[in-house]
Amino acid sequence: MSYVFDTTKPIALGADHAGVDFKNTINAWLQEKGYTTKDFGTYNTDSVDYPDFAHPTASSVETGEAAFGILFCGSANGVAMTANKHAGIRAGLCWQTDIAELTRLHNNANIICIPARYVSIELAKEMIEKFMSTAFEGGRHQNRVNKITCA
């Protein structure tokens, strides 16, 4: 499979307590596939505040330290809202492979947000594969993406 992100850079991962098991499983899966990852936590199921993990994950993508990011929480809404506060971040909430593809194809997303309470780990892996292998289409979508950031 061909990937559109710079695979020489790490993949940033973050999660709250509801998504930590998914994050840990995906982290191990990515490393088994030969990718470098940067795990921004959380590291256990104790209740935490999702912004504490979404912000550093988004910052690493925003600065170019990471190729792209993967965030997990129960619904993925909180981490998506938090990540999208960062300039240059386009975090997409995904619950199907078609949505993961469209967030890249039409929105040039650089963080995929996955609702751990509503999808299986196998579906999460499929969405991540689709996200990683889909290039931004550009064209008519470029003007729209250019209008996302507030100046």
Report the DSSP beta bridge partners of residue 69. Answer: 12, 111
141 is catalytic: no
Q: Which of 73, 86, 94, 113 is catalytic?
A: 73
Which of helix, strand or coil describes residue 93? strand
Measured between alpha carbons, how far is 124 from 45 in angstroms, rounded to an integer?
Answer: 19
Question: What is the rounded CA–CA span in Å between residue 100 and residue 4?
Answer: 14
41: buried, middle or exposed (CB in 10 Å: 19+, 13-18, 0-12)? middle
Q: Is 106 in the active site?
A: yes
Report the distance separating Cα 16 and Cα 45, nearest Å: 8
**Candidates 17, 55, 86, 106; catalytic one:** 106
Cβ–Cβ < 8 Å for 36, 12: no
Q: Which residues are catalytic?
A: 73, 106
